[in-house]
A and B are shown apart, each in its own frame.
Chain A
Amino acid sequence: MTVHNLYLFDRNGVCLHYSEWHRKKQAGIPKEEEFKLMYGMLFSIRSFVSKMSPLDMKDGFLAFQTSRYKLHYYETPTGIKVVMNTDLGVGPIRDVLHHIYSALYVELVVKNPLCPLGQTVQSELFRSRLDSYVRSLPFFSARAG
């Protein structure tokens, strides 16, 4: 099992943070373009899912998977979006995504007076804690390289 990469978006589509662990195939476009593409797709999925759903939804869009990877999606009422790509073996990881939001983003970015909101996060403490948290996950494995 593997964690490929992680995106953090705010409600306006700004990419607050991006980290990458095991990614064999790069998009072949500049990172800024990739963030816009990613956000655009998530935005469309959100509206697609809400229109197509035959019933009122509680959580909305949760995840999708292809033949090779699975994309997990978590959105807070304030519009912060945590997006993680893993391989297919990983089950629902809502609590993990929520932990990244509540214990890392809120604690180290929102409560840090020197981190302006709505911009790429510069705090080294946040980056290093996030990295060590993801590396400690049971389904994070380096063997896939």
Chain B
Amino acid sequence: MVDVVLFELLHKEMVAELWAQAPDPDLGPGGQKMSLLVLESIGFRVGQALGERLPREMQAFREELDMLKFLCKDLWVAMFQKQIDSLRTNHQGIYVLQDNSFPLLARMGSGLQYLEEAPKFLAFTCGLLRGTLSTLGIKSLVTASATALPACRFQVAIQRA
């Protein structure tokens, strides 16, 4: 594995570059949505590849919950060198993954400073989760929210065809 710092700095540059290029900041939500979408789809592609690569020595996943556990353990360890702190579900296809110290936010602050900027730094990881799940055969919608840095939660909504 390459040094973590390289990924963190590259991620930081991707975010900065996409925001610098946002067609017109005056467009408001439109311009911002575009950048979030690009970041999210880069994450999706990376997640797809990781989904192929990581579950090497495991038996086929029997059920949905196994796959979500795989995300919390193996994927998170591969990306961030730690496991996710809690996984909750309503048993109807909604899963909430909570990380109390998300590495991409951990250096930015504790509390409310910089809270407005946090969503930019979560989009890539949303795509990552969605991409991995899609390789494993699950369609999903992933959203993220942060209420106080550096904690954040990812909500995975499984879409059934």
Query: Do A124 and B8 form a contact, CB below 8 Å, given A113-B108, A114-B108?
Result: no
For A125, give its contact among B5, B109, B121 (CB under 8 Å): B109
- The smallest beta-carbon distance between B74 and chain A, in angstroms, is 25
**Contact (Cβ within 8 A) A114 B117:** yes
What class of interface size applies to chain B in its complex with A? Answer: 10 to 19
What does the 1/0 interface line of B63-100 toward A look like (CB < 8 Å)? 00000000000000000000000000000000000000
**B residues in contact with A123, CB < 8 Å:** 108-109, 113
Minimum C-beta distance from B127 to chain A (A): 18
B15 within 8 A of A: yes
Within 8 A of B (CB), among A99-142: 107-108, 111-114, 123-125, 128
Q: Are B117 and A111 in contact (CB under 8 A)?
A: no
Chain B residues with Cβ under 8 A from A111's Cβ?
A: 5, 8-9, 12, 107
Picked from B5, B16, B111, B113, the residue with its CB within 8 Å of the CB of A113 is B16
Task: Tell me the count of chain A residues lying within 8 A, CB to CB, of chain B.
Answer: 10
Number of residue pairs spanning A and B whose beta carbons lie under 8 angstroms apart: 31
Residue of B nearest to A123 (CB): B109
CB of B145 within 8 Å of the partner chain: no
- Judged by a CB distance under 8 angstroms, whether B110 is at the interface is yes
| A125-B110 CB under 8 A given contacts A113-B15, A114-B117 | yes
In the assembled complex, which residues on chain A have CB atoms less than 8 Å from the CB atom of B111?
Answer: 124
Minimum CB–CB distance from A110 to chain B (whole Å) comes to 9
Q: Per-residue 0/1 for B2-37: is the Cβ within 8 Å of any A Cβ (1 yes, 0 no)?
A: 000100110010011000000000000000000000
Distance in Å from the Cβ of A31 to the closest Cβ of chain B? 22
Give residues in A with beta carbon < 8 Å to B: 107-108, 111-114, 123-125, 128
Chain B interfacial positions (CB closer than 8 Å to A): 5, 8-9, 12, 15-16, 107-111, 113-114, 117, 121
21 A-B residue pairings within 8 Å (CB atoms)? A107-B107, A111-B5, A111-B9, A111-B12, A111-B107, A112-B107, A113-B16, A113-B108, A113-B121, A123-B109, A123-B113, A124-B109, A124-B110, A124-B111, A124-B113, A125-B107, A125-B108, A125-B109, A125-B110, A125-B113, A128-B110
